[in-house]
Structures are given as structure tokens and as C-alpha cells.
Amino acid sequence: MDMLRNFHYTNVLVLGLARSGTAAAKILLENGKNVRITDRDADWHDNNVQELQALGAELILGTHPISILDNIEVIVKNPGIPYEVPLLVEAKERGIPIITEIEIAGQLAPNSIIGITGSNGKTTTTTLTTKMLAASDQNVKVAGNIGTVATDVAQDLTKDETLVLELSSFQLLGVQTFKPKVAVLLNIYEAHLDYHKTLENYQQAKCNIFINQSKDDYLVYNAENETVVKAINDAKATLIPFSTKTYQRNGAYVDEEFIYFQGEKIINRKDVVLVGDHNLENILASISAAKLNGATNEGIKQVLTTFSSVKHRLQFVKNIHDRIFYNDSKATNILATQKALASFQQPVILLAGGLDRGNGFSDLLPYLQGVKAMVVFGQTAPKLKTIAEQAGIGLIEEADNVDDAVPKAYELSEANDVILLSPACASWDQYKTFEQRGDMFIQAVHRLM
């Protein structure tokens, strides 16, 4: 077996197992590479550890001694591990390349990838694109930051299958040769600066999605995002813009009634069930990526007339006595909460709060005009309470957590109100993931019954 003909390294260090590291190590071993693995938290009794050892991997668990870099030609790093750890600092000084398993996935499926990234909207766009292709009778699989390891899927991809990848900045920072046939750059806003340290570093990571593309590839981009428009000046791919405001001859756009792609009428806007102006951008990007890969208008219409949300992303949960509950736990930054609030015309009771990253929330002020009450929780509760007071919101409650916030929000509500969890913060002060936070919200809503 030699699926990695263009992977010109023999001695590889896999830093951090988890799902992506385990998958990368297995495919490297199966392709005859010498694999050394280090993980501080892995257990020798773990089934994956024992399987990798049986396949011939050298394992160093519980510590990261600098000596493990000896004779190593490349490091495959878990995306979540910061580059400031001493082992990686030393690796950089030695000139050892540091990649992520996305680079390996690109080697396995070099001509079949749609890659999607952006500060917001990645999962919705990835899901829509995948569904549009499937509804058009295309063979398609999905992986990446959406929850399935890209390498696991890419190694089994057949010639007639397309792989749609949701890609985070953490994954893209480790790109060498990776290039999707179609890249989608939704937007770039300030995010993850605790990891990337500077906005410039973050932007460059996002732009790595198109850095290796040629004119035979496509770059779908947001023509209304100023940072994106500046960034694509260096792109060599064929440019496919999308816009909710202006006509785009070569891309996707809207007027008051219809959605178009390259001048072709696709669907009446009133037939689209996915709510929110921000989701209109995701829809235009999805249509572009799907059409470039052979999707039919009928398949696209089928998806857009039935698909209402991705879990934890402005997800409708329940209507209880004419109070409508939405779970937007994925709103881990201010911009996402702004877009959620802009999606509703009726009065909103906002549940917000979470990890304090040191930022203020003044950018929320213009979007709080339709908010009649706020329930705040987590480390940022005092800051959000102050912003609510500045916005003139008369009803403000503090809660211990999301579970406590739901009944308090219900008590503040009246018929036809929206009760919206859109935290504007990461979840890590109280929850392991935003998914866990969203699930707690859903469970608390159902308990109201």
C-alpha cells in the first residue's frame, strides 16, 4: 500500500493522539513510514495505543522530552496544541516542518476536495454544500472540523466521490501542499487570538486554504467582507464571488425576489426556510461550491426548502406556550451573536455569557434594541450585565449556568417572545464544548414541559 507517494518524509513524529493523531499515525504506518508518537495524557492500556504499538509505532507517553525530535523529518501536530510548547519551539529552531493531518488528507484525495473555512458559518455552509451535492445524486462525503477526521474519510474515497471539508484556522496553519479543488472563504473577523497571538497570523492561517491553488481551481469568496477581498489579491485560482448586496456576474447574488448563480435563477427567496441574513451568505457560498461540482438546481431547491438549521447554530428547539426557543450555542464570539440577534423581528430574551477572553462587549450595543430581557452567566456575566444596562434593558437576571438560565428566561417571557441562547463567548469556563452547552440548553427547555 502506497497512497502517500508525494509525502516525502520517512521519519514522522505524531504529536498528540486524540482522533486526528490516531488516524494520521495509522495511515502513515500503513504506508511504510517510521512513526514516533508522543502524548502526555494517553494511557498505555488504551485500545488505540495498543493497536498503534502493534502496527510498529514507537510510543512515548506522559512526557515530551526534546530528544524525541532526534532523526525526525516532520511533525504531524494535533491542531489544538499551541506552537509555544517547548518541543515545537525547538522543532522550529531545528527547521523541522510542522503540519496537521489535513495535509495528509490532501495527499490521499488530491483532486476531490471542497474546502470551507471562515470565522463564522463554516458548519452550516459545509452541511448545505454536502446536502446539495447528495440531493443532486453526487457521491459525496463530509469530514474535518465538523466532527469526522479527514484522513479517515479521504483514504477510502473513490474516484467518483467528492470530499467536503470544514477547515479551522488551527488545521490550516499546518498546510504545506494541501489545496482543495474548490476553496470557500466565507469571512474573516477577529477570533482565536489567544492561539494565533495576532490578527495577521489568524488571517494568514485562513488564507492558507487557497495558497497552493492554481487557475484550474476555484476560490469562492465573500465579496462583501473587506478583509477577504484584500486577502484574495494573492490568489491564483479562478475567482467566484458571492454577495448579498451587489450583482456578481461570475458568482452568486440575490435581488429582492430570487437567488442567482452566474446569471441563472436558482430559487425564490421566500421558499428558503433557513432564517437569518447571515445564513443568506452561507447559502450563496454553498450554491457556488455545489454548482461548481455539478449540483443541479433541483437538488439545491430540495435542500433549501427543507433544511432549517444545524444543531447549535440558530437551531429551533421548541415552541412552548408561544415562546420560541433557539439554541445558538456555537455563537462563541460577538459577531455570531450580532448575526443571531439580527435574524429576529419579535422581542428577544437573550441568554449570554461564558469564558472571559479579556474583550468588551460594546459592539453588541446596536444589536440589543430588540432585546427585552437578558439572562447572563459565566465569567463574563458582570460585563454583559453592564452592557445590558447601557442598552436600557430593564429586565436583567444573573444565572449560575445555562441550566439555571432557561427557567429564569421563561419567567421573564410573554407569548410571541424568542428565547435565544447566543452566548457571544466560548464555553470553556463551565463546559467542555459549545455542544455540551447547547445540549444542556435543549434539555433545560424540554424540562419546562
The CATH number assigned to the domain holding 416 equals: 3.90.190.20
In this structure, the answer to whether residues 211 and 176 fall within a common structural domain is yes
Tell me the CATH number at 87.
3.40.50.720
For the ranges 139-143, 286-290, 359-363, 387-391, which has the lowest average pLDDT? 359-363
Tens of pLDDT, residue by residue over 235-277, are 999 999 999 999 999 999 999 999 999 999 999 999 998 877 8
In a domain, 2, yes or no: no
Task: Quick: pLDDT tens for 298-317.
Answer: 999 999 999 987 788 888 89
Same domain, 195 and 256: yes
What local confidence, expressed as pLDDT, does residue 408 receive? 97
Surface-to-core class of residue 178, CB atoms within 10 Å of its CB (0-12 exposed, 13-18 middle, 19+ buried)? buried
296 and 181 assigned to the same domain:
yes
Report yes or no on 5 lying in a domain.
no
Report the distance separating Cα 334 and Cα 367, nearest Å: 10
In degrees, rounded to 5, the angle at the alpha carbon of residue 209 between the alpha carbons of residues 112 and 96 is: 105
Nearest residue to 172 via CA among 117, 228, 225, 125: 117
Pick the residue with more confidence: 121 or 214? 214
Give the helix, strand, coil percentages of the chain, each rounded to 5.
35, 20, 40
Specify whether 114 is located in the same domain as 146: yes
Beta bridge partners of 421: 327, 351
Distance (Å, rounded) from C-alpha 355 to C-alpha 424? 9
Pairing assessment for the beta strands 161-166 and 182-185 based on DSSP bridges: unpaired
Residues 179-184 have a mean pLDDT of 97
Residues above pLDDT 70, as percent of the chain:
98
Q: How far apart are CA 67 and CA 115, in angstroms?
A: 36
* 46-73 pLDDT, tens digit each: 898 999 999 999 999 998 899 999 999 9
In a domain, 340, yes or no: yes
| CB neighbour list of residue 162: distance below 8 Å, 6 or more residues apart | 112, 113, 114, 133, 138, 139, 140, 141, 293
Q: Tell whether 376 and 329 lie within a shared domain.
A: yes
Please give the order of strands across the beta sheet that includes 348-352: 315-320, 323-327, 418-421, 348-352, 371-376, 395-398
- What average pLDDT does range 358-384 have in this prediction? 95
Q: Which of 304, 330, 357 is the last residue of a domain?
A: 304
Domain identity same for 260 and 333: no
319 pLDDT above the threshold of 60: yes
- Determine the 3-state secondary structure of 129 from DSSP: helix
pLDDT at position 35 is 97
Residue 128 near residue 307 (C-beta atoms within 8 A): yes
Q: Are residues 292 and 375 in the same domain?
A: no
One domain for residues 280 and 325: no
Q: Are residues 94 and 120 in the same domain?
A: no
Is residue 78, in this structure, part of any structural domain at all? yes
Same domain as 234, residue 106: yes
User: Domain boundary residue among 248, 276, 304?
Assistant: 304
Count of structural domains within the chain: 3
Per-residue pLDDT, averaged over 71-91, amounts to 93
pLDDT at position 356: 93
**85 and 193, same structural domain?**
no
What digits encode the pLDDT tens for the residues 91-120?
999 999 999 999 999 999 878 899 999 988
User: What CATH number has the domain bearing residue 231?
Assistant: 3.40.1190.10
Distance, CA of 121 to CA of 228 (rounded, Å): 14
* Structural domain for 374, as ranges: 315-447
Residue ending a domain, among 273, 304, 335, is 304
Question: Is residue 6 a part of any domain in this protein?
Answer: no
DSSP per residue, 31-88: TT-EEEEEESS--TT-HHHHHHHHTT-EEEES---GGGGTT--EEEE-TTS-TTSHHH
User: Does the structure show a pLDDT above 80 at 412?
Assistant: yes
Asked whether residue 63 is domain-assigned, the answer is yes
Identify the pLDDT of residue 192.
Answer: 60
Q: Is residue 95 one of the residues assigned to a domain?
A: yes
Distance CA 251, CA 264 (A): 10
Examine residue 3 and state whether it is found in any structural domain, yes or no. no
Residues 8-29: what's their mean pLDDT?
94
For residue 155, give Cα distances in angstroms to 2, 369, 418: 11, 50, 44
The pLDDT, as a whole number, for residue 194 is: 64
Over residues 378-385, the mean pLDDT reads: 97
The larger pLDDT score, comparing residue 68 to residue 40, is at: 68
The b/e string for 48-79 (b: 16+ C-beta within 10 A; e otherwise) is bbeebeeeebebbeeebeeebbeebebbbbbb
pLDDT band of residue 1 (cuts 50, 70, 90) is: very low
111 shares its domain with 259: yes
Q: Pairing state of beta strands 315-320 and 323-327? A: antiparallel
